[in-house]
Amino acid sequence: MRMTLDDLKASFSLMGSWEERYGLIIDLGRQLEPLPQDAYVEANKVRGCMSQVWMISQTQPDGRIVIRGDSDAHIVKGLIAVLLMVYSGKTPQEIGQIDIKSLFAELGLEQHISANRRNGFYAMVERVGQMAESS
């Protein structure tokens, strides 16, 4: 069974240190399904990330968007996994209504990841928005 956002919040609340939370985020990244080899192209790269990040999406018949991603950095893969918990499987309208900054702060990520990683995270959020608009 995949971890949900509520599971992640509950796990974070039980963990004492940020090292433990980083460990969980990295583990989530390790569980990401690999992208197909042909997805690792320039068109799928996310601009604004220090690490290499690729994201793809597929619109389902019911209008929901399934998002997938990968990175060459472990912590970034984990942040992708968190983003997928939030956005993947939602409609473009639902995606547009999510207050990711509040959620990011609620999880404590706002003050516990570097400015570069935070910028990269928001670049991935922007990419999700673009995918939702073009679906």
Which positions are annotated as active-site residues? 49
> From start to end of 1-135, where are the E strands?
53-59, 65-71
Beta carbons of 69 and 56 less than 8 angstroms apart: yes
Measured distance CA(111)–CA(107) in Å, rounded: 10
117: CB partners within 8 A, 6+ apart: 50, 75, 76, 79
Measured distance CA(77)–CA(105) in Å, rounded: 19
